Chains A and B, each alone.
Chain A
Amino acid sequence: MKKYILDFRISENTKLHDNYALLKLTPADGRPLPEMLPGQFVEVRVDRSPSTFLRRPISINFVDCLRNELWLLVRKAGEGTRTLCSLSTGEIVNLVLPLGNTFTLPEKTDEKILLVGGGVGIAPLLYWGKYLKEKGYTPQFLLGFRTDKDLLQYEQFKQLGPVYISTEDGSLGEKGFVTQHSVLEQQFERLYVCGPKPMMVAVARYARKRNSSCEVSLENTMACGVGACLCCVEDTVEGHVCVCKEGPIFNIERLKWQI
């Protein structure tokens, strides 16, 4: 899949709670967005942030073909992402895209599919959910947050299928971690997971026990994003592989996680 370096214009920056921003971007030259697949990511150059040297890898949250907009859901994790969250409408950002691989489509459209997201890890699942729905699948969503104040993109997910919510403090949905949610008493044939590593490990363990197929989206610290620097490696059954190039989506059977 061809990769590009393109300038994008911020068409909208919506603050979501204190710690997140939803950036909608459109190609600065007005041309159509390049083809992008769910699960892929972009590397954003962070200008005007002197302490940020490298680009920041950000998941593709959604692709709105009608409006020619790419959505990035950004959590303020440090100086670089704080700068991105503060960009104003009309400002230009430079992106390398699309990077990485995509999720594996289920074999049959009637498979029971659950997309599990934690915190900002819900980001790639929105585009993947829409993609699945368009292909005739019926995805369900289990989303976990710390509190009701961290809830992200609930309205958008609701349009794609049933949405189950967990919060750690019980302020919304069921109390506890996603792995404690009652929906997991059902048998799912396929799980797709993105969130904090301990959450993904816990869901992977559940999937292994239930004999469900499970793919996770990793976010190892990376520099180049194209498989050149070999910094973001994950230990797999084939040895160290680059998350940026062979991932970020991995079937848990490829990983050497203790599950």
Chain B
Amino acid sequence: MTASGTFGYGEEFADFIDLSRLGGIIVKGTTLHHREGNPYPRMAEAPAGMLNAVGLQNKGVDYFIEHIYPRIANIDTHFLVNVSGASVEDYVATAEKIAALERIPAIELNISCPNVKEGGMAFGTSCKSAAEVVRAVRAAYPKTLIVKLSPNVTDITEIARAVEAEGADAVSLINTLLGMAIDAQKRRPILSTVTGGLSGACVKPIALRMVWQTYHAVKIPIVGLGGIMNATDAIEFLLAGASAIEVGTANFIDPQITEKIVDGIDEYLEKNHISSVRDLIGGLIL
């Protein structure tokens, strides 16, 4: 699948790849109300990665339902909506509206956005608040509920267990790592928000470690993401325990990377005489 906030609504990439070859597209973080996001500048390059501080810019769930959903409903892949909010009530109201959309089989509950002042990551950094929001959304949302976890915690497995206990169907991890970039000449931060979320190749070892730890802590499936740049990276996440993977920042460098990863996984399976990708999940040899 493609990670939220890195693939638009898929249309931006239709010239480059066959969208029907994707497992799914997770659309940009959607909130109850329109959000302008953070001021520019929102991006800083980092060694083997980038920082962003977009701040959940989106036109709100009603706009999505009215204007975007009809446009994408005919694209032959699964569309999942990443749902974010500033309060439990916001999350619930947004999830309820998305639940009514026939072509959206699942939501990814974003309790891990590091770039908003209220809500976002605040929900995902304590077991109590994570449990509270998942419990409320679970009661209101009958379809598949994936909860996207923050790596900016002492022990991600505690949060994973807390959301599993509240009925999450799966967890996805990791969201971006809180980071910072400074312009030494100007003695100023590069991002308008001072801090931002780090993604790209540089975060992969951390993401892999967290997927592996979480795999041993919960029974629900894990969607692995964080710095996947090629098929080998994707296979590593499967071996660490992910049942599915998301590709994010890599789309910016190679808009065709998702198709290449699909092909690369197939080649790996064939070469190693493995009949199903399922046989790789958690297949790490210790």
What residues of chain A have their CB less than 8 Å away from a CB belonging to chain B?
Answer: 2-5, 45, 51-55, 96, 220-235, 239-240, 245
Contacts and interface: CB of A to CB of B under 8 A. Distances in A.
A3 B15 CA distance: 6
B251 A53 contact: no
Nearest to B229: A53
Contact of B201 (A53, A222, A232): A53
B45 A226 contact: no
Contacts of B45: 52-54
Name the residue among B45, B48, B249 with the largest chain A CB count within 10 angstroms. Answer: B45
Contacts of A245: 12
B252 A221 contact: no
Interface of B: 5-8, 12-13, 15-16, 28, 36-37, 39-50, 52, 54, 57, 200-201, 249, 251-256
Main secondary structure of the interface of A (DSSP, over half): loop
Contacts of B251: 224, 228
A145 to B, nearest CB: 23
B43 A229 contact: yes
Nearest to A225: B252
14 contacts: A5-B256, A52-B45, A53-B47, A53-B201, A223-B52, A223-B252, A226-B8, A226-B12, A228-B251, A230-B28, A230-B54, A232-B40, A232-B42, A235-B40
Main secondary structure of the interface of B (DSSP, over half): loop
A210 B15 CA distance: 42
A247 to B, nearest CB: 12
B253 A227 contact: no
Contacts of A230: 5, 28, 37, 42, 54, 57
B50 A223 contact: yes
Contact of A231 (B7, B8, B49, B54): B54
Contacts of B6: 224, 228-229
Contacts of B12: 224, 226-228, 245
B39 A235 contact: yes
A196 to B, nearest CB: 15
B42 A233 contact: yes
Name the residue among A3, A4, A220, A224 with the largest chain B CB count within 10 angstroms. Answer: A224
A226 B42 contact: no
B47 A51 contact: yes
Contact of A233 (B5, B7, B40, B46): B40
A225 B43 CA distance: 13
B38 to A, nearest CB: 9
A224 B52 CA distance: 12
Nearest to B40: A233
Name the residue among B44, B201, B252, B254 with the largest chain A CB count within 10 angstroms. Answer: B252
A2 B239 CA distance: 38
Contacts of A3: 15-16
A55 B251 CA distance: 11
A233 B57 contact: yes
A4 B256 CA distance: 10
B54 A55 contact: no
B242 to A, nearest CB: 23
Contact of A234 (B40, B46, B200, B249): B40
A2 B44 CA distance: 28
Nearest to B196: A231
